[in-house]
């Protein structure tokens, strides 16, 4: 990913900052600047998410693109944040421990590297929260 394209999203990726439509109350992550429900009458403000959520579904990526080859195999999941929105992120855990319904929380981690001397991308990954599960 180009440096400018990555740089533009740093606040959101580093701090799980998304948005909220104060007209209808709906939260967005990844952030949206237009509410799909209220559209032009929606008022959008930034919102920092708590980072706690639940695994909706997941997979173990065993064949990746070049940028992620260093990390394979890795757990990729769709996570539903407690505020409602869902996002795609990696879960840092052994592949055999990943499950649907697993409680997770966001942490700041290295996500990808553009080769040996290229840009290193940081962002949010998730780690299991011990002992908690939600039945989906």
Partner 1 sequence: MRDVAVVGIGCTEFGEHWGASFRDLFVTAGVMALQDAGVAGDELDALYVGNMSAGRFVEQEHIGALIADYAGLASNHIPSTRVEAACASGGLAFRQAVIAVASGMEDIVVAAGVEKMTDVGTGASVDMLASAADREWEGFAGATFPGLYAMIANDYMHRYPLTREQLAQVAVKNHENGARNPIAQFKNRITIDTVLNSSLVADPLRLFDCSPITDGAAAVVVVPLERAREYTDSPVRVLASAQASDTIALHDRRDISTLDATVVAGKRAFDQAGLEHKDIDLLEVHDCFTIAEICAIEDLGFCKKGEAGRLTWEGVTAIGGDLPVNTSGGLKACGHPVGATGIKQVCEIVTQLRGEAGSRQVDAEIGMAHNVGGTGATVVVHILGV
Question: Where does this chain touch Zn ion (CB under 5 A) — which range of 15-23, 48-56, 57-65, 92-100?
Answer: 15-23
| Adjacent-strand bridge partners of 123 | 109
Selected binder of partner 1 within 17, 44, 71, 92 (CB under 8 A):
71
Looking at 65-115, list the stretches that DSSP marks H as alpha helix, in order from N- to C-terminal side. Answer: none
Structure tokens at 14: 């580093």
Nearest partner of 95 among 70, 54, 59, judged by Cα: 59
Q: Which helix (H) or strand (E) holds 41?
A: none
Instruction: Give min distance, CB of 22 to Zn ion, in A.
Output: 8
Question: Does 37 contact Zn ion by CB under 5 A?
Answer: yes
Q: Which helix (H) or strand (E) holds 15?
A: helix 10-15
The entry of partner 1, Zn ion, none near residue 86 (CB within 5 to 8 angstroms by kind) is partner 1
Q: Which residues bind partner 1 (CB under 8 A)?
A: 1, 5, 9, 13, 30, 56-69, 71, 74, 76-78, 86-90, 95, 100, 111-112, 121, 123, 136
């Amino acid at each position: 990913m180009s440096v400018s394209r990555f740089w533009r999203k740093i606040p959101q990726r580093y701090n799980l900052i998304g948005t909220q439509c104060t007209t209808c109350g709906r939260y967005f992550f990844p952030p949206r600047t237009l509410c799909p429900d209220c559209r032009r009458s929606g008022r959008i403000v930034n919102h920092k998410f708590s980072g706690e959520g639940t695994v909706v579904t997941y997979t173990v990526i065993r064949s990746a693109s070049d940028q992620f080859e260093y990390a394979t195999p890795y757990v990729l999941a769709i996570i539903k944040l407690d505020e409602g929105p869902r996002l795609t992120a990696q879960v840092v855990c052994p592949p055999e421990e990943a499950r649907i319904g697993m409680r997770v929380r966001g942490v700041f981690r290295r996500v990808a590297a553009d080769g040996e001397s290229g840009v290193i991308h940081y962002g949010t990954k998730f780690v299991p929260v011990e002992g908690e599960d939600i039945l989906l």
